[in-house]
């Protein structure tokens, strides 16, 4: 299925059923088409509905937000990890 919006493939896969998806990348590296993996039990209708509802998140967003909050406190992730968190 061709797509025109930003897709986070791992996130979309979990939103459907976690059984695997395939993607075709365009010349700019963005996903331009998503298909069901060979043994995925979802239907094309399931895929279409999931894509329509999908709002891609940045997989690094949580880490980046945590780093920003720590930086505001004058800390780094490495410093937090060093004390056992």
Q: Which residues contact 80 (CB under 8 A, 6 or more apart)?
A: 70
pLDDT at position 58: 82
By residue range, what is the domain housing residue 74? 58-85
Residues 36 and 64 in one domain: no
Q: Tell me how far apart the alpha carbons of residues 47 and 6 are, in angstroms, rounded to a whole number.
A: 15
pLDDT band at 61 (very low <50, low <70, confident <90, very high): confident
Model pLDDT for residues 27-54, shown as the tens digit of each residue: 988 999 999 999 999 999 999 999 999 9
Residues 41 and 80 in one domain: no
Residues 76 and 44 in one domain: no
Q: Tell me how far apart the alpha carbons of residues 24 and 67 are, in angstroms, rounded to a whole number.
A: 32
pTM score > 0.85 for this model?
A: no
pLDDT at position 78: 85
Percent of the chain at pLDDT > 90 equals 62
Domain count, the chain: 2
Residues 69 and 39 in one domain: no
């Amino acid at each position: 299925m061709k797509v025109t919006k930003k897709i986070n493939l791992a996130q979309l896969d979990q939103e459907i059923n976690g059984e695997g998806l395939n993607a075709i990348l365009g010349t700019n590296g963005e996903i331009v088409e998503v298909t069901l993996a060979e043994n995925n039990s979802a239907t094309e209708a399931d895929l279409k509905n999931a894509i329509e509802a999908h709002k891609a998140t940045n997989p690094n967003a949580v880490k980046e937000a945590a780093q920003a909050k720590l930086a505001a406190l004058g800390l780094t992730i490495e410093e937090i990890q060093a004390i056992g968190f």
